[in-house]
Structure 1
Amino acid sequence: MKIKLSILLLASLAAWNLCASEKSRLIVLADMGNEPDEEQQMHHMLLNANEFDLEGLIAVTGKYLRVGPRPDLFWHLIEGYEKVYSNLQLHADGYPSPEYLRGIVASGQRGYGILSTGKHLTNSTGANLIIKAATNGDPRPIWLVVNAGSNTLAQAVISFQRQSTPEEFAAFLAKFRVFENGSQDNAGAWICANFPDIHWIRSNYQTYCYGGPGNGELGPNVWEPFESSSLGQHHWLLENVIANHGPFGNYYPLRQFTKGGVSFAEGGGTIPWLGLVNKGLFDINHPHWGGWSGRFSRQKLENFWSRHKDIKLDEMTYGTFKLYGEASDHWTNPEDGKVYNNDYAPIFRFRRAMWNNEKARNDWCYQPFESANHHPMAVLNGDAGDSILSMEVKPGESITLDASGSSDPDGDELVFYWWNYFEAGSYPRPLVLDKSSAKKTSFTVPSDAAGKEIHLVLEIHDVNEIANLYDYRRLVLTVSR
């Protein structure tokens, strides 16, 4: 019976994998030059750029940079990236060439907010880039990260509506999966109020949780052996990113205040794109599933305001608008037993893996393959892809899952962990697993779970003195009625 079940399960997983394994498209809007965190975030992103299809780097304005986008700072970072590009290729396939990256740099609207948009204005090169990406025939949606103001996207929407049929415009809006970091101008809510069909995520707090969310609240310390403070993060970055890591490290600025002191690492612009690194965990179409880019509401929320008082005042004049807002997780840190039950937990639970990933990839800038660490491959019931898997099950059914086919390119020992992402599903009680830290696990589908969805995550990491690296496979169980 177990053999038959395993065969059926493998067939189900493989069928899903065939239609769900591909890179996501990414466009980033950033207020380059506002402060050093934007350059930190983009430096970090370029080291992960083999994991997604980067289609636009648009310098824009926002609350903290009211006029004058700085595309030259993207070019500056690409200059540094070019110096390590050949070495990065020793460690992973798929890194974009420096020439390609220079070709996707653009400038957004010159002024601030919705007043710098309109039918009477000529489109910025950034607005035109967005229109071109959304209409080039690529069937995949676009993960559009707004790490500043949204008015360049607003201009693209206004402009394309003028030149398209209603059907064409609906298809245009349907292309976007927007992640708005911190709602940094008044254009985001304006778009949501006037074009309610757009898929829009707003993060007021999770977006800051790579290193924050603030200097007084930093969450789990994964930058040991340095102290649990912004200064400790500063020293970690000096050791693991900037010093003795090849020429690109010299392009990573420190986030220091003009009057002295340092702030937490990378501000709010890393989390929005970071989820795309793990295709087996994060899905851009389901913001409530969670992953390295956070977890958000299952349904759109009404008038989920900006955290900035001046922007909220503008938003209150738009009437009703709806978007996906932040959701909370309940998570116990296995390293110190501290319990988190808040909006930060969806990021904190993955923070160790995130920081280890950054550390390892900076080594790729200068080390040969044999002197660096590389990510393991999580294999679930023989499926060696990197997509999220799905299967239909029945109440009371016994399921066995096997990750023994997982491997590590460096030959490192692997550690296995199976866990139920309780908040991502719709079944109201945790799933009981037979074993949580073995290569194989089994469980019985709860008898009262008919019509519900249950999320199970296979998490593996290697054991390596440089930094343990992680891989994931999410299995979505749909329980029949």
Structure 2
Amino acid sequence: MIIQQQIKKIVFALAIIASLSFQVFCQEGQKQRLIVLTDLDYFEPDDAQSLVRLLLYSNQLDIEGLIATGNAENADDLYPDYIRKIIGEYDKIQANLLKHEDGFPTGKELLNVVKVGIPLYGMEGVGEGKDSEGSDWIIAKLEEKDERPLWINVWGGSNTLAQTLWKIKKTESEKEAKRLISKLRIYAISDQDDSGAWIRKNFPDLFYIVSPGRYQDGTWVGMMSVIPGLKNDVVSNFWFAENVQQAHGSLGAIYPNVVFGVEGDTPSFLYLINNGLNSPEHPDWGSWGGRYEYYTPDNDTTVEWRIPIVQETRPIWTNAEDTYTPTVEAPYGMSIVNDTTTITGDKVTVSRWREEFQNDFAARMDWCVKEYEEANHPPDVEMVTPKEITVKSREIFQLDGTKCSDPDGDGLIYYWFNYQEAGSCKEPARLFPPNSAKVRAMAPKVDETETVHFILKVTDRGTPRLTRYARVIVTVEPAK
């Protein structure tokens, strides 16, 4: 009887472990909930550009709100009809997108989540009697029985979010307010009115990614910057004309020309795309949307700017630097080698992935008009090595990505690298050879336990070339 009871306990424990493993797997692969606050208008059309791209990823995200808001330059005129117009063009090509991947919502479903904020500047729109359709909608979505985080992308002014938080704090119990606010995740494209700083000061536990201060100092500028040593033509006007605007259907045709900068808001949702690299709960791990670290930035409050720059009162997720050496294909010998240029900076945390996410955009634009057999689709990255392993200092171990495949039958290009900034270890880890599906690595010498992040980048040979990733986090323990 005792043995049978022990067996039952073991079986029960294994079932619990299996259940937890399944839950973790589902969380990693699940769609992220998303509400966008956008100051989309006809004067600076970068929001319209970003919305076109966002709709092409609407099957990978649960878009639960598209809320028209203002900004520092234009708080009075909101343009929900422009949002609806772009959705109307998307609806014309939605059926063709479904030939390539499942899950694209209908235009009607997206129109149902278009809402409007308050046409007032910043904190003028926060307080008693300042509720709007947009702020009420965010609260309603927070109250739904969905335990996933609710991401808010702030592409313009943030006073609709500020009013949401003000209302929750005023009307809910302390316990319920804490529960609702804990579900929020904010990624703001700089501060575009004075409510962002107010939010961070008054809600110190709120998860908040932002580059405070002048726009040109933001990490997100890596989306559009011309950076020596990188392939900059993928963000040129000519690239967008060829790959988006012309001969790619109604959605491409409505993509507006660049006025100042291209798609400044796009990194906020590229951060959420499930591509094997991104890990939204870990901004310091790096992603298509950039890499950020948690600290209190020393804002220069003496700088004159359209929005008063104030000192932060608590840590936030904000600008971090990467050092990046691009790779190039070689005609002989090792097929992939380091280029001659090394680049350092916070904008590099976005721009280092630019060729890859631009190719991804171009492929999805092809999906708007092409049959499945005529277009390219991303490779499937399946690892043999677990996502987390533990080794000893100076130990040699293997990383195995030999199960990767491609849905179109294209050849695959493999490249492993140590993403040093994402881990805690300051000594680089060695890989050999880096351009094979299966590689050997040597753990760095450590005197205390450290983490090392290895990224496998898998690129197909289709047109345009598409890339997906896998991340292996190696815990390195001191040798006994």
Normalised by the length of structure 2, the TM-score is 0.87
1:452 corresponds to which letter in structure 2? Answer: E
Secondary structure of 2:292's counterpart equals coil
Q: Are the counterparts in 1 of residues 34 and 62 from structure 2 also a CA contact under 8 Å?
A: yes
| Alpha-carbon shift at residue 14 of structure 1 (Å) | 7.2
1:176 corresponds to which letter in structure 2? Answer: L
Q: Are the counterparts in 1 of residues 428 and 444 from structure 2 also a CA contact under 8 Å?
A: no
Q: Are the counterparts in 1 of residues 157 and 192 from structure 2 also a CA contact under 8 Å?
A: yes
Q: Deviations over 1:206-258 (max 9, x none)?
A: 2122222xxx758723536xxxxx7xx112111111111112222111123xx
Corresponding residue for residue 103 of structure 2: 94
Q: Are the counterparts in 2 of residues 192 and 322 from structure 1 also a CA contact under 8 Å?
A: no
Q: In 2, Cα distance between the equivalents of 1:458 and 1:217?
A: 25
Q: In 2, Cα distance between the equivalents of 1:305 and 1:115?
A: 25
Residues 40-439 of structure 1: pairs in structure 2 closer than 5 A: 40-118=49-127, 120-203=128-211, 204-212=217-225, 220-223=230-233, 233-256=236-259, 263-266=260-263, 268-297=264-293, 299-302=294-297, 304=299, 309-310=304-305, 313=308, 315=310, 320-335=313-328, 337-381=340-384, 389-439=387-437
Secondary structure of 1:278's counterpart equals coil
| Alpha-carbon shift at residue 306 of structure 1 (Å) | 8.7
Q: Deviations over 1:319-351 (max 9, x none)?
A: 724322100100012245322111111112101
Q: In 2, Cα distance between the equivalents of 1:123 and 1:219?
A: 48
Q: Which structure exhibits the higher relative contact order, with contacts defined as CA atoms closer than 8 Å and separated by 6 or more residues?
A: 1
Residues 426-465 of structure 1: pairs in structure 2 closer than 5 A: 426-448=424-446, 450-464=448-462
| Alpha-carbon shift at residue 174 of structure 1 (Å) | 1.1
| Alpha-carbon shift at residue 310 of structure 1 (Å) | 3.7
Find the partner of 2:468 among 448, 456, 471: 471
1:193 corresponds to which letter in structure 2? Answer: K
Assess, with a 3 A threshold, how the Cα gap between structure 1 residues 431 and 311 changes in structure 2: closer, same or farther.
same
Q: Are the counterparts in 2 of residues 193 and 322 from structure 1 also a CA contact under 8 Å?
A: no
Q: Does 1:36 align with 2:45?
A: yes
Assess, with a 3 A threshold, how the Cα gap between structure 1 residues 207 and 250 changes in structure 2: closer, same or farther.
same
Q: In 2, Cα distance between the equivalents of 1:281 and 1:165?
A: 38
Q: Are the counterparts in 2 of residues 303 and 320 from structure 1 also a CA contact under 8 Å?
A: no
Q: In 2, Cα distance between the equivalents of 1:72 and 1:55?
A: 17
Q: Are the counterparts in 2 of residues 186 and 315 from structure 1 also a CA contact under 8 Å?
A: no
Identity %: 33
Q: In 1, Cα distance between the equivalents of 2:60 and 2:152?
A: 15
Show structure 1 runs of 4+ deviating over 6 A: 305-308
Corresponding residue for residue 259 of structure 1: none
Q: Are the counterparts in 1 of residues 222 and 349 from structure 2 also a CA contact under 8 Å?
A: no
Q: Which moved more, 1:364-373 or 1:236-245?
A: 236-245
Q: Are the counterparts in 2 of residues 68 and 111 from structure 1 also a CA contact under 8 Å?
A: no
Q: In 1, Cα distance between the equivalents of 2:229 and 2:296?
A: 27
Q: Are the counterparts in 1 of residues 46 and 261 from structure 2 also a CA contact under 8 Å?
A: no
Secondary structure of 2:147's counterpart equals coil
Assess, with a 3 A threshold, how the Cα gap between structure 1 residues 140 and 251 changes in structure 2: closer, same or farther.
same
2:292 corresponds to which letter in structure 1? Answer: F
Assess, with a 3 A threshold, how the Cα gap between structure 1 residues 430 and 218 changes in structure 2: closer, same or farther.
closer
1:247 corresponds to which letter in structure 2? Answer: S
| Alpha-carbon shift at residue 105 of structure 1 (Å) | 0.7
Q: In 2, Cα distance between the equivalents of 1:391 and 1:429?
A: 18
Q: In 1, Cα distance between the equivalents of 2:309 and 2:457?
A: 43
Q: In 1, Cα distance between the equivalents of 2:181 and 2:358?
A: 34
Assess, with a 3 A threshold, how the Cα gap between structure 1 residues 139 and 433 changes in structure 2: closer, same or farther.
same
Which segments of 5 or more consecutive residues in structure 2 lack a partner in the other structure? Answer: 1-17, 212-216, 329-338
Q: In 1, Cα distance between the equivalents of 2:302 and 2:255?
A: 28
Q: Are the counterparts in 2 of residues 50 and 94 from structure 1 also a CA contact under 8 Å?
A: yes
Q: Are the counterparts in 2 of residues 303 and 321 from structure 1 also a CA contact under 8 Å?
A: no
The alignment of Structure 1 onto Structure 2 pairs a total of residues equal to: 443
Secondary structure of 2:459's counterpart equals strand
Q: In 2, Cα distance between the equivalents of 1:123 and 1:51?
A: 31
Q: In 1, Cα distance between the equivalents of 2:308 and 2:237?
A: 35
- Structure of greater Rg: 2
Secondary structure of 2:380's counterpart equals coil
| Alpha-carbon shift at residue 48 of structure 1 (Å) | 1.4
Q: Deviations over 1:394-444 (max 9, x none)?
A: 434443221111011110000001111100110011111122100101223
Secondary structure of 1:183's counterpart equals coil
Q: In 2, Cα distance between the equivalents of 1:404 and 1:100?
A: 40
Secondary structure of 1:50's counterpart equals coil
